[in-house]
Structure 1
Amino acid sequence: MTTQPAPIVVGYDGSTGSQSALRWATAEAVRTMAPLRLVEAFELVITARPSPGHVVPLEAVRTARQTGLDAVAENVRLHHPGLTVETRLEGGPAARALIDAAAEARTVVLGSRGLGGWSGLLVGSVAVQVTTHAQCPVVVIPHDQRPHAHLGPTVLVGVDGSKASAKAIDFAFDQAEAMHAEVVALHAWTSPFLTYADGASMLQFDEAKVREEARLLVAESVAGAAAEHPDVHWTTELTMGGAAQALVRRAESADLVVVGSRGRGGFTGLLLGSVGQTVLHHAHCPIAVVH
């Protein structure tokens, strides 16, 4: 008995952001030979005093939305005949629909902002909620991707030795292999190891030693994924300072940035750590948050 692979779920609402997400998700579904599932949600807005002659039956709204979603799916099938494309129209909040869909998905892909989002926000509330609560990797496509010039495609991944970071590294190498891209494994530290030197009262640290230990941490963290993807070239970048800021700066020349949902030292009650939140709100390339 053949088990069907988990689907690539894409949040779709007709916005420019969701169209970009659909393109990314379609390419991922074709690469992984997984079904593509388009999920659209709608909420019924009831006013206290509806205008006479302007009341549209709920079933008519649902039918119209389903027809539009089916047309989008059919267009994808037309360009990718071998791809299985499914549609789901869900009543209720979009974030809840996508979080529920994530329970059986390989990856969820959505735009950073959908219809009705505040134009001043880089990331809408739906993207924040889904990346925080989804049970699978979530890829967010920013609405304002900035073109950049570099020698070749790059996948940037944050490395800190945590379990979430290990999953992010696996995801990054998998994506890099598909994109024929280089992996840049970035590690940053803000608290160097402090030791007493010759009984002196002033705390000092050996920066060379700290950097070497950081290099070993990255090498050990990446070793497994690198062995499974021998054709993927990867490099290490080490920096002193905040990890979030370092990732955002380096993301300016990356095609995808991958972070774990929570790193070392994060509060266990938080589902999405401060680094993930900062990158999500400030990076201008696709961002993958891996749980």
Structure 2
Amino acid sequence: MSSQPAPIVVGYDGSPGSQSALRWAVGEAVRELAPLRILEAFELIVTVRPTPGHVVPLDALRTARQKGLDAVADTVRLQHPELQVETSLVGGAAVPALLDEAGRARLVVLGSRGLGGWSGLLVGSVAVQVTTHARCPVIVIPHDLRPHAHEGATVAVGVDGSKVSAKAIDFAFDQAEALHARVVALHAWSSPFLTYSDGASMLQFDEDKIQEEGRLLVAESVAGAAADHPDVQWTTELVSGSAAQALVRRANSADLVVVGSRGRGGFTGLLLGSVGQSVLHHAQSPVAIVR
């Protein structure tokens, strides 16, 4: 039985988003002492009808793409000679190729947008589909990622007491240890107030009690991961209102935001919950979706 660790797979197409993803994936592979696999999907789309006798030079195009991909890998090897780097040029669409790789990877890293599509969208269809269906954690990197101006790295994770949230917490602490970062465990609660037009309340509740229950939920949820990572400092952040909005705001100062693919509530048939979708589309930091 092979002891070879599972690779970190990065989707690459030469776009600014994929270049940002590659830089992040290289850093992660170095931190985790994991192999790096750079995958490019080669899908030839002929948009005009060839004239009689005209031949599309598919082999030449594939060779050129492979040379370009090899050059990217050689640059990474030159900068990090200790890193095991592989390339894979796959014929066909990107999504099936990445999902196939995800079945054997420890992590998939993607740029928020690749080549093609509608440039006004913050997150491309490949990133959305892969985060929705991949069997391993997926990290999506903004194409214009810039270091935050703050002291100390931060990993923010959404906590709601669900099983998927527990996996997200474990992942967040693993990342925090590798990044020498602290963890912010964020729990959002919604007010049960229903009000009349004059502001009178239909329900009464004890806000202090609600916050204490939230603090206890976070403490219980984080206890195992904190015990496994005694050197990682962590804090609780309780927010009244939308969890998605709170995590998006947190992303302004976080180095990574971690979200479970599905939390409590919502439609159980959905593979990616509304919080995950909102954070993926609006956060200005790398976002990890954990299943």
TM, length-normalised to structure 2: 0.93
> What's the counterpart of residue 93 of structure 1?
93
Distance verdict in 2 for CA 1:85–1:189, change over 3 Å: same
* CA distance in 1: counterparts of 2:152 and 2:73, whole angstroms: 32
Instruction: Give the Å deviation of 1:143.
Output: 1.6
SS at match of 1:19: helix
Asked whether the 8 Å contact 2:254–2:285 carries over to 1, the reply is yes
> What's the counterpart of residue 225 of structure 1?
225
Output aligned runs, 1:22-37, within 5 Å. 22-37=22-37
Greater mean alpha carbon deviation, residues 87-96 or residues 132-141: 87-96
Instruction: Give the Å deviation of 1:56.
Output: 3.1
Asked whether the 8 Å contact 2:139–2:288 carries over to 1, the reply is yes
> What's the counterpart of residue 204 of structure 2?
204
Instruction: Give the Å deviation of 1:259.
Output: 0.3
* CA distance in 1: counterparts of 2:284 and 2:254, whole angstroms: 9
* CA distance in 2: counterparts of 1:218 and 1:58, whole angstroms: 55
1:251 maps to 2:251: yes
Instruction: Give the Å deviation of 1:144.
Output: 2.9
The aligned amino acid for 2:282 is H
> What's the counterpart of residue 269 of structure 2?
269
Instruction: Give the Å deviation of 1:46.
Output: 2.6
Output aligned runs, 1:82-161, within 5 Å. 82-145=82-145, 147-161=147-161
> What's the counterpart of residue 50 of structure 1?
50
Instruction: Give the Å deviation of 1:248.
Output: 0.6
* CA distance in 2: counterparts of 1:241 and 1:290, whole angstroms: 23
Deviations 1:123-153 (A, max 9, x none): 0001000100100000000123355322211
Asked whether the 8 Å contact 2:110–2:141 carries over to 1, the reply is yes
SS at match of 2:252: helix
Greater mean alpha carbon deviation, residues 68-77 or residues 155-164: 68-77
> What's the counterpart of residue 61 of structure 1?
61
* CA distance in 1: counterparts of 2:66 and 2:158, whole angstroms: 40
Instruction: Give the Å deviation of 1:50.
Output: 2.1
Instruction: Give the Å deviation of 1:117.
Output: 3.3
* CA distance in 1: counterparts of 2:53 and 2:183, whole angstroms: 58
Asked whether the 8 Å contact 2:193–2:202 carries over to 1, the reply is no
* CA distance in 1: counterparts of 2:242 and 2:46, whole angstroms: 47
Greater mean alpha carbon deviation, residues 57-66 or residues 143-152: 143-152
Deviations 1:49-100 (A, max 9, x none): 2257874321211111111111111111111112111111111111111111
* CA distance in 2: counterparts of 1:263 and 1:137, whole angstroms: 15
Instruction: Count the aligned residue pairs.
Output: 285
Asked whether the 8 Å contact 2:20–2:144 carries over to 1, the reply is no
SS at match of 2:9: strand
* CA distance in 1: counterparts of 2:105 and 2:182, whole angstroms: 26
SS at match of 2:231: coil
* CA distance in 1: counterparts of 2:152 and 2:214, whole angstroms: 26
> What's the counterpart of residue 166 of structure 1?
166
TM, length-normalised to structure 1: 0.93
Distance verdict in 2 for CA 1:163–1:235, change over 3 Å: same
Greater mean alpha carbon deviation, residues 261-270 or residues 145-154: 145-154
Asked whether the 8 Å contact 1:162–1:263 carries over to 2, the reply is yes
Unaligned runs of 5+ in 1: 195-200
Asked whether the 8 Å contact 2:20–2:145 carries over to 1, the reply is no
* CA distance in 1: counterparts of 2:266 and 2:3, whole angstroms: 37
> What's the counterpart of residue 234 of structure 1?
234
The aligned amino acid for 1:185 is A
The aligned amino acid for 1:81 is P
Asked whether the 8 Å contact 1:99–1:133 carries over to 2, the reply is yes
* CA distance in 1: counterparts of 2:48 and 2:17, whole angstroms: 32
Instruction: Give the Å deviation of 1:37.
Output: 0.5
Asked whether the 8 Å contact 2:18–2:143 carries over to 1, the reply is no
Deviations 1:153-200 (A, max 9, x none): 111100000111111111111111111111100000115499xxxxxx
Unaligned runs of 5+ in 2: 195-200
* CA distance in 2: counterparts of 1:114 and 1:265, whole angstroms: 32
SS at match of 1:253: coil
Distance verdict in 2 for CA 1:202–1:118, change over 3 Å: closer
> What's the counterpart of residue 197 of structure 1?
none
